Structure 1
Amino acid sequence: MPARPARLLTSSAALLWGLQFAFLVPSLALLLVTLYDATPGEVGWVLAVYNGAGFVATLLLPAWADRRGDYLHPLGLCALLTVALAAVLAATTALPVAVAALLVLGAPAGVGVTLLFAHPRHAGAGADEVVRTRAVVSFAWVAGPPVATLLVGSLGDRAVLVALAVVAVLNLLTTLGLLARERRGRDAAAARAPAAQDGAPVTRAAVVLVVVAFVALQATNSSVVAVMTLFVTRDLGLDVVWAGIALGVSAGLEIPALLLAGRLSRRVPDLSLVVTGCLAGVAYYVAMALVGGPVALLLLQVLNAWFFAVVAGVGLALFQRVVPRPGLASGLYANTRRVGGVVSGPVIGVGASGSLGYGGVFALCAGLTVLALALVVLAARTSRPPAVATGTS
């Protein structure tokens, strides 16, 4: 298969998998309330249990795929599970049944994007292709929530579930296309020789340092997104619309930033790119703690876009380099986002309790980003092979 059609097939799969969860995740709390009469407390514990099951599935299913050396058949299984999930959620009005479906069907189905990222790395793709695929998923997340909202507003709550099932069927078709391409032997040589571990060998200690660093980086992003509206309205005294504009500008800039990061990854080491992202993050958080008006608020989103593009795209490629199994690497990376979301709660609580108000959250995030940068630098030094002594006999 020529390179361009093959790339189009991979990009289509990334777009559809991104849309699948961009439809479900933002709508899930609404569906729990409107379709199953869940109380606020029930919504909280259902989401907590669902995310916990997703955490476990994101470790187990990719590890199973690693052992088999096959990511596409499990990917197709995830698509089928999503169709079943949408059917059960649409057919039932009982909250316990919906919760059981989310745990048994939804949690493993949510691993689809992780497997999609693991497959090209296993097939020999470079970091630039991984980052480009991540950019397509980001585009889906920009478009997905507004489309889901439009469906709910015009066709009712269950319309999201119908759309979810349709997209899952399309995901199954793209997976079959990827399988057909692989069966024709176009990727056989790459599959027999996975991408080389570029750079110095990586120790287990370095992997731990990288994981902790990215949990901190993900926590900072989750924290500032959560408090942006409160920061804009209460600390800056601006209309709430400015918070939406700022987040929208950042999301819009994220896609070209990811594409740029992918191009740079062909020539610049991934750890060096992560350092530039951390420096941009520190500059962004410090400036946001001191910002005083809407123009500066919007201009600073350029820094935020580069920071998150590096964390989201180059970070994924970095994990796939330092962890030798692509599925486990992608699963670990995905779970740094989940754990970072949990850590963001204390970050917000501590940061907002000081004299800076919600600006203190940005200040605390600057400190966490400096810590993450130090851990990444330490990981780079830890991963260097020891010098080999030489002598003459």
Structure 2
Amino acid sequence: MLVSASALFWGLQFAFLSPALALLLVTVFGASAGEVGWALAIYNAGGFVASLLVPAYADRARNYAGPMMACGGLTLALAGALAATTSLPLAVVALVVLGGPAGVGSSLLFAHLKHTGAAPGDVVRTRALVSFAWVAGPPLATFLIGGFGPRSILAAIAVVAVLNIATTAALRAPAVQASDSPAEEGRVPRGRVAVVVVVFIALQATNSATVSVMSLFVTDRLGLDVAWAGIALGVAAGLEIPALLLVGKLTGRVSGRLLLLTGCVAGIAYYAAMAFARGPVLLLGLQVLNAWFFATVAGVGLTLFQEIIPRPGLAAGLYANTRRLGAVVAGPLIALGSVTRLGYGTVFAACAAITVVALAGLRGGVSQYREEPSLPAGRISR
């Protein structure tokens, strides 16, 4: 119950902040569109660095709950700093110095689970709760902002930060990880780890690009009202939760590699069909494939990183950064929507091609590892 509550609160913390951040920068700090872009870029760059440094410290200390509590404290400080100033430069400094490290808390939760001997299925089910928070969080944030003003979201984030600190304090327990030797790192060739990282950056990029252009695709390519884009994304997000729960149930019975392969096949089918889709029925029906694709990337992907990288913090941090880097790579993909006759359907077609290449890389990068559930946590066989 503590792990479930912690996952829900960490998910809510950023489900509140991320959708509202651009609005806060404009309404509270008077940022222009260009300044919003720079502020978010600097903030995300700070988060990228923090998600490498903080988990590395946690790995060295063999302690993940302590840094998680610190992340909760930094979130509380961030909410206070943003509430106390109207200066855009000070707000950006607070986002980088406080918000960057605070954002690592969710990754540290999964590192803590790995360090304390949680089974892969438990990790995937915990990830489903984070997804649930992202389904509920943005509407709640919108309700608060509409009813009480933009700064009200800062109070909500502060409350969630206090709950994060409390649940993390209760989570503290002695680690039961069976293997703590640094020599474990030599068991997995770095080249193969690099292949898996690149593959997941590509997979995350396809998801980020298609989500970003969904509104334009629906209005420009399908000729539908923009509301259908929100409905389609909502259906996909809603289906993602049972898909993750199913992945968690199958983990241990079916190899993670096979689940990932089925997810990539579903992703290829989804992107290829969307490139030529017509009408709202097909738009919504295809979200089943989309949900399964992202559930395998989010659920099995996280456990795969924990399997091939013996240091739990580094594994969780690297996986989280595939999402950030994927969003960067998505930029050129989105630009394809304006240079071909297929319009924004080209973005989906390109994503299908990229997923095919990623599937080939996944087969090569993961096939060398034989899944052996009987091995102690952290041990990898070649």
Q: Same fold (TM over 0.5)?
A: yes
Match of 2:239 in 1: 253
351 and 153 in structure 1: CA distance in 2 versus 1, 3 angstrom threshold: closer
TM-score of the aligned structures, taking structure 1 as reference length: 0.91
C-alpha displacement at 1:241, in angstroms? 1.3
Match of 2:291 in 1: 305
Pick from 63, 88, 99 the counterpart of residue 95 of structure 1. Answer: 88
- 1:106 is aligned with what amino acid? G
Q: Deviations over 1:125-147 (max 9, x none)?
A: 11101111110000000000110
- 1:373 is aligned with what amino acid? L
In structure 1, what is the Cα distance between the partners aligned to 2:283 and 2:300? 25
- TM alignment of 1:239-318, pairs within 5 A: 239-318=225-304
**Residue pair 1:223, 1:345 contacting (<8 A) in 2 also:** yes
C-alpha displacement at 1:28, in angstroms? 0.6
Match of 1:337 in 2: 323
Match of 1:141 in 2: 134
**Residue pair 1:352, 1:359 contacting (<8 A) in 2 also:** no
Pick from 47, 56, 59 the counterpart of residue 63 of structure 1. Answer: 56
Structure 2 unpaired stretches of 5+:
181-186, 372-382
**Residue pair 2:205, 2:330 contacting (<8 A) in 1 also:** yes
Match of 1:39 in 2: 32
Match of 2:313 in 1: 327
In structure 2, what is the Cα distance between the partners aligned to 1:323 and 1:75? 20
- Consecutive aligned runs of 4 or more in structure 1 exceeding 3 Å deviation: 191-194, 381-385
Q: Secondary structure at the match of 2:244?
A: helix
C-alpha displacement at 1:362, in angstroms? 0.5
Q: Secondary structure at the match of 1:36?
A: coil
2:69 corresponds to 1:76 = yes
In structure 2, what is the Cα distance between the partners aligned to 1:332 and 1:223? 20
In structure 2, what is the Cα distance between the partners aligned to 1:355 and 1:323? 44
Pick from 37, 42, 50 the counterpart of residue 43 of structure 2. Answer: 50
In structure 2, what is the Cα distance between the partners aligned to 1:146 and 1:152? 10
Q: Deviations over 1:54-111 (max 9, x none)?
A: 0000001001101111000000000000111101100111111111111111100000
C-alpha displacement at 1:381, in angstroms? 3.7
Q: Secondary structure at the match of 1:93?
A: coil
Pick from 150, 153, 156 the counterpart of residue 149 of structure 2. Answer: 156
C-alpha displacement at 1:242, in angstroms? 1.1
In structure 2, what is the Cα distance between the partners aligned to 1:157 and 1:238? 31
In structure 1, what is the Cα distance between the partners aligned to 2:289 and 2:336? 24
Q: Secondary structure at the match of 2:253?
A: coil
Pick from 171, 175, 184 the counterpart of residue 178 of structure 1. Answer: 171
In structure 2, what is the Cα distance between the partners aligned to 1:115 and 1:92? 29
2:344 corresponds to 1:358 = yes
**Residue pair 1:202, 1:384 contacting (<8 A) in 2 also:** no
In structure 1, what is the Cα distance between the partners aligned to 2:178 and 2:366? 29
Match of 1:229 in 2: 215
Structure 1 unpaired stretches of 5+:
1-7, 195-200, 386-393
- 1:62 is aligned with what amino acid? P
In structure 1, what is the Cα distance between the partners aligned to 2:149 and 2:179? 49
C-alpha displacement at 1:205, in angstroms? 1.6
2:6 corresponds to 1:13 = yes
Identity %: 63
2:106 corresponds to 1:113 = yes
Q: Deviations over 1:277-301 (max 9, x none)?
A: 0000000001111211111111100
**Residue pair 2:336, 2:344 contacting (<8 A) in 1 also:** no
Match of 2:23 in 1: 30
* RMSD, aligned α-carbons: 1.4
Match of 1:388 in 2: none
In structure 2, what is the Cα distance between the partners aligned to 1:222 and 1:97? 29
**Residue pair 1:205, 1:382 contacting (<8 A) in 2 also:** no
C-alpha displacement at 1:239, in angstroms? 1.2
- 2:366 is aligned with what amino acid? A
C-alpha displacement at 1:350, in angstroms? 2.6
In structure 1, what is the Cα distance between the partners aligned to 2:54 and 2:7? 19
**Residue pair 1:18, 1:138 contacting (<8 A) in 2 also:** yes
Match of 1:347 in 2: 333
Higher radius of gyration, 1 or 2: 1
Q: Secondary structure at the match of 1:355?
A: coil
In structure 1, what is the Cα distance between the partners aligned to 2:344 and 2:93? 38
2:117 corresponds to 1:124 = yes
C-alpha displacement at 1:192, in angstroms? 4.7
2:354 corresponds to 1:368 = yes
